[in-house]
Chain A
């Protein structure tokens, strides 16, 4: 087990608390945006081999809409908001009004609306973590990927795989009782960043 892994495991509760606050903030930001109550279900933190990650999220060739946000600043990493095609349809209708027909493709405005969902949730999440650690974190503009879940995950995983065997995977489900909104909010910090982040949370400075 690497030193980083040990450090994370020893501080898992602190990390979980900080992450949970971040997810709550992200969900309330999303609630405000779509005008429905969105809740966060069972956030989980795991350190697993990069090779295992696609298996965690169901069949790797299921078609999804994934919004990708890169994290830059003191902490670097990746955020992905992954929703089913049905949920993407629901979100689009909440944000831009009823659609003439459900389509397998989204027009530019619909794509930008979904990108904005990732932008809002990502920004709220990162600002809560910044508050907890005094570390600077900034989200990139969102990029939308409409494709197989495994193919979308290649984007962060290929980068992580260059420098680590394992990675910290932080994920939660967003759900809404009133409609079929269900999404996975996935956070993958780069290896060095996880260490720095945990050190700050545990009151050690390197």
Chain B
């Protein structure tokens, strides 16, 4: 087996590749969402690490892949440039937790839940329904996508890696 290298996909980043030696990782997703997309027919995939649902809610000069409405289309388009087709893309979504649970601190913006909803809606515009999801709840997650196999693993504190 070829040696594997890890690429960190930070907040607001979209990274796609067909390099089967790579493992893409979105570390410490709280209310953020990681979208792992993979086309097995080309052995190519990518991750979008999304912070907020909608760029239209932001101040006018703020844009980019921190928002689902920009990051998800970017992910699909970048994968298409590598030869993927939306009909073959398998998506798994991870994150969207509510990190503040203390009384008086309940997340009035419901960022996590709104991120989940936004990502699902935008994926649907490409005819993509997530094949699996580990979303919501109150725990942070780390997402790993293995480009050689398309396998996705999710880690939480105290539980270790579990395949999704």
Interface residues in chain A, defined as those with a beta carbon under 8 Å from any beta carbon in chain B: 50-55, 59-61, 63, 68, 70, 104, 140-155, 157-159, 161-165
Contact = CB atoms under 8 A, between A and B. Distances in A.
B53 to A, nearest CB: 10
A148 to B, nearest CB: 4
Contact of B30 (A70, A140, A148): A148
8 contacts: A59-B27, A60-B28, A61-B140, A141-B104, A148-B30, A152-B99, A154-B32, A158-B51
Contacts of A144: 102
Determine the interface band of chain B, counting residues with CB < 8 A from chain A. Answer: 35 or more
B113 interface: no
A52 B10 CA distance: 8
A37 to B, nearest CB: 30
Contact of A143 (B11, B57, B100, B157): B100
Contacts of A63: 157-158
Given A51-B13, A158-B109, A162-B58, A151 B28 contact: yes
A148 B11 contact: no
B62 A161 contact: yes
B101 to A, nearest CB: 8
Interface string B1-34: 0000000001111000000000000011111100
B111 A163 contact: no
Contacts of A158: 31-32, 51-52, 109, 111
B12 A162 contact: no
Contact of B51 (A68, A154, A163, A165): A154
Given A60-B142, A150-B29, 15 more contacts: A51-B11, A54-B27, A61-B140, A63-B158, A104-B158, A147-B139, A148-B28, A148-B142, A149-B28, A150-B30, A151-B140, A153-B28, A154-B29, A154-B99, A155-B30
Interface string B124-158: 00000000000000011110000000000001011
Contact of A163 (B59, B141, B158): B59
Contact of B140 (A142, A148, A159, A161): A148
Contacts of B99: 145, 147, 151-152, 154-155
A50 B66 contact: yes
B97 interface: yes
